[in-house]
Amino acid sequence: MSERDGYQPGVPCWVQTVQPEPKQAVRFYTELFGWDAVSLMGEDSPGDYFLCKLRGRDVAAIVSQHGAPAPPEPVWVTHIWVDSADDIAAKVAEAGGSVVGEPFDSPGGARVAVLSDPAGAVFCVWQPLERGGAQLVNEPNAWAMSQLRTPDPDPAKAFYGEVFGWETDTFGAGEGEVTLWRVPGYVGGEPQQPVSREVVGAMFVIGEERCADEPPPHWSVDFWVSDADATAADASRLGGRVILAPHEAPGFRRAILADPFGAAFSVSELIVPT
């Protein structure tokens, strides 16, 4: 079930990173993950949009600012599949969120709006036109899941429930709490996973007094890898940074990394019980 030919409304479907030097970022990620990158922009275009592929299938994008407000620093952004980007943008505003960038037709093949929840966590919505989001997920070097990190989960539950119809399951994890977002009736993930296949994301609570490395409320992205330690070492060798060294987490060995321009992401190596 790692290959996808589309999603249903309310399901995260695409990730991209907005970069000050997209061509240099392409060199980092293609070497780190073994991606191929294809430019979708003409030679005279003032912006860049690189479509990244793995095994010939779309997995992510590396872009410069093009028709939407650029984030203040390089970042990975999660897109959620919708029937109408314009309608959801209006709904987000009514639900207490913000429209950061009005809906526009993206070179990536979708109508996109840049939005934020009431706490300021930015995300995009993806109304498919020519492309149907990530075609490959949940395998080494492909995107696996996005996670909301926010200090106040209750308003987030109300907001995403109202806008996308998400429901939640919450349970303890060590000293913290993890909430799983679910789209009722959705069949995603993988057959062998230990949680419902309705799960489309997760939420972690961050403290009001954040440590120096903890950014404001945000959506983070996670990529599966075959070897978390080797990937962390490769990221450093390629000019990136290890924010949190490889460590054990339930079912995974994980690390938090940053590319040479500071965009953070995590990698997870699935631990198969022996």
Q: In the chain, helix, strand, coil percent, each to 5?
A: 15, 40, 40
Least confident of 25-34, 164-173, 228-237: 164-173
Which ranges of 34-183 would DSSP assign to H, the alpha helix? 85-94, 153-164
Per-residue pLDDT tens digits for 103-154: 999 999 999 999 999 999 999 999 999 999 999 999 999 999 999 999 989 9
Token representation of residue 76 = 């990975």
Same fold, 12-128 and 143-270: yes
Residues 6+ positions from 27 with CB-CB distance below 8 Å: 238
Per-residue pLDDT tens digits for 46-97: 789 999 999 999 999 999 976 556 666 899 999 999 999 999 999 999 999 9
Instruction: For residue 20, count other CB atoms closer than 10 A to its CB.
Output: 13
Long-range contacts of 185-192 (CB under 8 A, 24+ apart): 186/8, 186/10, 186/11, 188/1, 188/11, 189/1, 189/138, 190/1, 190/2, 190/138, 191/1
Tell me how far CA of residue 198 lies from CA of 143, 180, 185, 206, 224, in angstroms.
17, 9, 6, 24, 19
**Domains of the chain: which residue ranges?**
12-128, 143-270
- 211, exposed or middle or buried, with CB in 10 Å at 0-12, 13-18, 19+? exposed
User: d(Cα 99, Cα 101) in Å, to the nearest integer?
Assistant: 6
Residues 6+ positions from 94 with CB-CB distance below 8 Å: none
CATH class of 12-128: alpha beta
For 163, the 3-state DSSP assignment is: helix
Q: How many CA atoms lie within 13 A of 257 on its CB side?
A: 28
- Find out whether 245 and 235 touch, Cβ atoms under 8 Å: no
Per-residue pLDDT tens digits for 96-111: 999 999 999 999 999 9
Q: Is the model's pLDDT at 214 over the cut of 70?
A: no
CATH fold for the domain made of 143-270:
2,3-Dihydroxybiphenyl 1,2-Dioxygenase; domain 1 (3.10.180)
149, 245, 146: which is closest to 199 by C-alpha? 146
Residues 6+ positions from 192 with CB-CB distance below 8 Å: none
